[in-house]
């Protein structure tokens, strides 16, 4: 049975790694339900869960505000009460205790006015707990008494009563009043046993162990801790295990066995980090740092540990634990010789003691201040703190190391040359240290340590056996999984090959369809471009024809009439200058007439492309010193060339020759028309100044040439270099027509 129990505990440990994820999953589920229902109860469920894990104070406050919106909408006192209660919890989680108490009091007042006894008990219990945390013990006992009075005769509130009675006893323990703490903790233990509340019984036993330790009743202390540990193992309550291990570590440390205390404290920190809240984590960091302070050579580790604890405790505003942290941190700095850092810690401790004003914190303050003053050789200040500690001990404050106070006091008195008092103090110190009870304590602790180590070895053997069983089971599972995996992989490969083959076929079909669509698109695009170019050129031809008609019928005739009128007016005058001007007017009219003929579309139904180009070159108006030549392939029946191609070639030559005469300053312009098989080409060359193709921007003339060539499917080759002339060649494939009719090319 013992092995089975240990195996259950080990299994619990194996699955604890999933707890955090499970917690987050629980929170997400509660939030989902709240979003669906939007009721006070669903919002309160989220708030209760966030309060239990002591995290996400902002989210807790947000859901409390959601309850407030319902309260305002429905004008519900119950909803306002819930809002006040959960708003207070958000402040407590955030460490703002004053604000938390204000909100909780509002909730409690509404519960009292509404005679809601269960809520009065709940809110009073919460107030008592948080007043304990903030070291306001009188206030804690006031609200706990109020809650216990409301729950005393209510069977359904028995659990709340046990919780409040335990916290009531804790208030005395925290304040250093161990006798009162013992009385009420024994009452709480008895109630827990009668009601069979194992979880609360564990808390009571753990608290009894701490009280007996303070009262130097070590045998009873160890017995209480052992009972609590057994119950924790049976229940798998590892959160409380952390507290018990921390208390056991404190027992060993108080009995000058810090090395034995260290593994217990480290185990408590591990449990706190895995299962605890920020309050727990801060507490056990302080516990570990205190033990490290008492081990030679571990002062630097103590500083690191305590520096981890301080921000955690500041985050939850636990001033009582912060006092402990600064107390031990000052001692660690003092051991390292860093007196200035120790004094800073003492100053922080003094400020918090002024706020809390409890015997425990005052005792810690003087316990820290006295050795610091002694190290600084301020013996009278140190002696004042030692005497304050002795007075508190005589008044009932318990300290397991009370002999240390008398020992250090004798050192201060000796330094001040008060030898009789020093001797008396030293004798008191030895009397306290050499008491028979201390030998008994050491023996009991040694026995407990042997038991603990034996149990650890047994647990380790059980772990090894469990690992071997798990290894064999894992091997069997791996074989089964491997076989199944191989079969599954084969099936997946077959499915993959089938799907891949289908995908290939589908891709091929899609590629074929896409190719066909692309070809259709390119054909449509080309046809569209040709139609647009054709439309542009047709418009251009229409405009040229209109301009030619205007020039020939209007301007030329007007100039002819003007010349005749001038001659009629001056027929009796034979002025040489007038004759010269009339000659210029006639020449201008002839040039305009020639230009009008050039602009007019050529009549290819009466002449071939060869004849039209020859006539055009022959009648060119050339600048002085400029020559124009035309050549064509001999022995060709040029009537076979389609009229559309001939027309565009004629216009291209016109544009090219015009550019050469206007811009190239050429002395020779040569035009050649060639037909080689089905390839018809026309070349225009000049010996002018040329231009740089990389710098030259295409003008309207070149664009027109390109567009005309595109409409008949011709290619254009343009070669030009600065100072080396220009070469233009336009080539097109033609289908010759025996009858001279136009065909598609």
Contacts (Cβ under 8 Å, ≥6 apart) of 262: 249, 288, 291, 292, 295
Write out pLDDT tens, residues 304-353: 999 998 998 888 888 878 888 888 898 899 888 898 898 898 888 888 87
- Taking the C-alpha atoms of residue 162 and residue 184, their distance in angstroms, rounded to an integer, is 11
DSSP 8-state assignment for residue 18: G
Considering only CA atoms, which of 124, 544, 491 is closest in space to residue 116? 124
* Main-chain dihedrals φ then ψ at residue 607, nearest 5 degrees: -145, 155
Considering only CA atoms, which of 693, 728, 698, 735 is closest in space to residue 713? 735
Considering only CA atoms, which of 401, 399, 452, 402 is closest in space to residue 262? 452
Q: Are strands 627-632 and 668-676 parallel, antiparallel or unpaired?
A: parallel
Q: Are strands 679-686 and 726-733 parallel, antiparallel or unpaired?
A: antiparallel
pLDDT of amino acid 223 = 85
- Taking the C-alpha atoms of residue 33 and residue 63, their distance in angstroms, rounded to an integer, is 13
- Taking the C-alpha atoms of residue 603 and residue 600, their distance in angstroms, rounded to an integer, is 9
203: left (phi over 0), alpha (psi -120 to 50) or beta: alpha
DSSP 8-state assignment for residue 720: E
Calculate the alpha carbon distances from 107 to 71, 123, 124, 551 in Å. Answer: 13, 7, 10, 105
Write out pLDDT tens, residues 221-261: 888 888 888 888 777 777 777 778 887 887 777 777 788 88
pLDDT of amino acid 741 = 42
Contacts (Cβ under 8 Å, ≥6 apart) of 124: 108, 143, 144, 146, 147, 150, 164
Contacts (Cβ under 8 Å, ≥6 apart) of 248: 209, 222, 225, 261, 264, 448
Positions in the chain short of pLDDT 50:
1-20, 22, 436-437, 440, 739-745
- Say if CB 240 and CB 228 are below 8 A apart: yes
pLDDT of amino acid 556 = 62
End-to-end CA distance of the chain: 103
Q: 3-state DSSP call for residue 670?
A: strand
- Taking the C-alpha atoms of residue 123 and residue 465, their distance in angstroms, rounded to an integer, is 50
| DSSP conformation letters of 326-388 | HHHHHHHHHHTT-HHHHHHHHHHHHHHHHHH--HHHHHHHHHHHHHHHHHTT-HHHHHHHHHH
- Taking the C-alpha atoms of residue 529 and residue 523, their distance in angstroms, rounded to an integer, is 10
- Taking the C-alpha atoms of residue 467 and residue 307, their distance in angstroms, rounded to an integer, is 38
| DSSP conformation letters of 620-639 | --PPTT-EEEEEE-TT--GG
DSSP-H helix ranges across 196-257: 198-214, 218-235, 238-254
Contacts (Cβ under 8 Å, ≥6 apart) of 133: 97, 279, 318, 320
Considering only CA atoms, which of 362, 401, 400, 397 is closest in space to residue 177? 397
Place of tokens 């070639």: 649
- Taking the C-alpha atoms of residue 247 and residue 222, their distance in angstroms, rounded to an integer, is 10
- Taking the C-alpha atoms of residue 613 and residue 610, their distance in angstroms, rounded to an integer, is 5
Determine the longest span between alpha carbons in the chain, in angstroms: 166
Considering only CA atoms, which of 562, 608, 580, 565 is closest in space to residue 737? 608
- Say if CB 732 and CB 642 are below 8 A apart: no
Place of tokens 């009278």: 380
- Order of strands, sheet of 715-720, starting from the edge strand that comes earlier in the sequence: 627-632, 668-676, 679-686, 726-733, 715-720
Residue 482: both structure tokens together: 């491997």
- Taking the C-alpha atoms of residue 643 and residue 486, their distance in angstroms, rounded to an integer, is 77
């Amino acid at each position: 049975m013992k092995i089975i129990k240990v195996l259950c505990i080990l299994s619990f440990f194996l699955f604890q790694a999933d707890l955090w994820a499970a917690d987050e999953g629980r929170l997400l589920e509660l939030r989902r339900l709240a979003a669906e229902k939007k009721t006070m109860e669903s919002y309160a469920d989220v708030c209760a869960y966030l309060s239990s894990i002591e995290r996400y104070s902002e989210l807790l406050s947000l859901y409390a505000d959601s309850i407030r919106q319902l309260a305002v909408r429905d004008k519900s006192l119950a909803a306002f009460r819930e809002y006040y209660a959960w708003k207070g919890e958000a402040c407590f989680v955030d460490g703002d205790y004053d604000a938390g108490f204000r909100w909780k009091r509002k909730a409690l007042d509404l519960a009292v006015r509404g005679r809601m006894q269960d809520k009065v008990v709940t809110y009073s219990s919460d107030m008592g707990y948080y007043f304990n945390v903030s070291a306001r013990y009188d206030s804690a006992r006031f609200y706990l008494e109020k809650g216990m009075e409301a729950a005393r005769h209510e069977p359904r509130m028995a659990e709340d009563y046990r919780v409040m009675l335990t916290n009531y006893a804790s208030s005395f323990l925290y304040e250093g009043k161990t006798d009162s703490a013992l009385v009420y903790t024994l009452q709480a233990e008895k109630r827990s046993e009668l009601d069979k509340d194992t979880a609360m019984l564990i808390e009571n036993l753990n608290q009894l162990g701490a009280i007996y330790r303070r009262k130097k009743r070590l045998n009873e202390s160890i017995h209480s801790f052992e009972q609590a540990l057994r119950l924790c193992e049976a229940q798998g309550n590892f959160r409380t295990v952390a507290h018990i291990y921390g208390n056991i570590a404190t027992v060993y440390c108080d009995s000058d066995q810090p090395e034995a205390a260290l593994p217990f404290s480290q185990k408590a920190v591990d449990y706190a980090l895995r299962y605890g809240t920020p309050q727990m984590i801060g507490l056990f960091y302080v516990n570990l740092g205190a033990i490290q302070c008492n081990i030679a050579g571990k002062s630097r580790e103590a500083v690191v540990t305590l520096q981890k604890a301080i921000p955690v405790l500041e985050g939850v505003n636990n001033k009582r634990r912060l006092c402990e942290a600064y107390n031990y941190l000052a001692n660690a700095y003092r051991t390292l010789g860093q007196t200035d850092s120790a004094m800073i810690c003492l100053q922080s401790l003094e400020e918090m003691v002024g706020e809390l004003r409890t015997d425990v914190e005052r005792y810690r303050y003087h316990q820290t201040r006295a050795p610091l003053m002694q190290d600084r050789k301020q013996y009278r200040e140190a002696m004042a703190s030692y005497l304050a500690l002795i007075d508190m001990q005589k008044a009932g404050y318990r300290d397991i190391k009370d002999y240390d106070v008398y020992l250090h006091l004798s050192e201060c008195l000796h330094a001040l040359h008060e030898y009789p008092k020093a001797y008396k103090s030293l004798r008191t110190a030895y009397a306290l240290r050499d008491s028979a009870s201390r030998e008994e304590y050491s023996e009991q602790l040694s026995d407990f340590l042997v038991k603990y180590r034996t149990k650890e070895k047994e647990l380790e053997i059980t772990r090894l056996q469990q690992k071997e069983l798990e290894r064999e089971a894992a091997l069997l599972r791996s074989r089964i999984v491997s076989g199944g995996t191989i079969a599954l992989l084969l099936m997946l490969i077959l499915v993959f090959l089938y799907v891949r083959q289908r995908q290939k076929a589908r891709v091929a079909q899609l590629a074929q369809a896409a190719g066909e669509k692309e070809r259709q698109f390119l054909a449509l695009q080309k046809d569209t471009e040709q139609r647009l170019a054709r439309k542009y050129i047709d418009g251009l031809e229409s405009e040229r024809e209109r301009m030619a008609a205007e020039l020939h019928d209007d301007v030329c005739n007007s100039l002819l009439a003007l010349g005749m009128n001038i001659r009629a007016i001056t027929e009796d005058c034979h002025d040489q200058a007038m004759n010269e001007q009339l000659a210029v007017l006639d020449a201008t009219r002839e040039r305009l007439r020639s230009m009008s003929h050039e602009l007019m579309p050529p009549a290819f139904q009466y002449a071939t492309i060869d004849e039209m180009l020859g006539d055009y070159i022959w009648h060119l108006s050339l600048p002085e010193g400029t020559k124009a030549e035309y050549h064509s392939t001999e022995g060709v029946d040029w009537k076979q060339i389609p009229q559309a191609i001939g027309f565009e070639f004629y216009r291209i030559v016109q544009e090219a020759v015009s550019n050469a005469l206007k811009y190239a300053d050429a002395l020779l312009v040569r035009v050649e028309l060639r037909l080689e098989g089905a390839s018809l080409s026309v070349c225009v060359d000049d010996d002018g100044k040329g231009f740089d193709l990389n710098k030259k921007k295409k003008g309207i003339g070149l664009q027109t040439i390109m567009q005309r060539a595109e409409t008949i499917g011709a290619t254009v080759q343009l070669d030009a270099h600065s100072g080396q002339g220009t070469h233009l060649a336009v080539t097109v494939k033609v289908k010759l027509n025996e009858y001279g009719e136009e065909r598609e090319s």
